[in-house]
Amino acid sequence: MLKPKVHARYLQLVSDRIDAFRDMISALSEDAQNDAKSSAGDKHETALSMMHLEQEKLNAKLTECLDQKAVLDKIDPMQGNDKAVLGSLVVANGIYFYLSQALPKIIVDDISVLALSPQSPLGSLMVGKTVGDSVQVNSTTYNIERIF
């Protein structure tokens, strides 16, 4: 089954990002502690400020990834639905859309899948639609062919 594989791949992608951001934050903290022991003066203060800013950026990205994972954790990939809802895999115009979070395109079983947030322009129009319905974004009409 495709939908559970897509869900698992996106969960893995987000988990890997979380691990990477945590590793970077940890490394920055160590660097700041080591730098504090070995330097003094204005250059030292500037370096610490830059590290702190970088740490804040990484913390923001980590929080975003944790939020994405929380949404993915709420989805039951085995649940089928005849309407497009959070967690649906929707095929429109031959394109596979996973209604979950705005995440990078992945390939599962030689099929490209785009993850859409239900709050995105296209995602919000798809929510509640059934097979045979159409939605239009800008000048493109998407005909819903299948919902997993």
Q: What pLDDT, in 10s, does the model give residues 20-71? A: 999 999 988 887 777 655 555 566 677 778 888 999 999 999 999 999 999 9
Q: For the chain, how far is it from start to end, CA to CA, in angstroms? A: 10
CB 134 within 8 A of CB 107: no
User: Residue 107 pLDDT more than 90?
Assistant: yes
What is the average per-residue pLDDT within 87-107?
Answer: 97
Distances (CA, A) of 53 to 5, 56, 79, 103, 127: 37, 5, 42, 25, 38
pLDDT at 89: 96
Give the integer Cα–Cα distance in Å for 23 and 45. 23
Q: Where are the domains of the chain?
A: 2-74, 89-147
Q: Where are the beta strands (DSSP E) in 21-133?
A: 89-92, 95-99, 103-108, 111-116
Write the DSSP symbol of residue 133: -
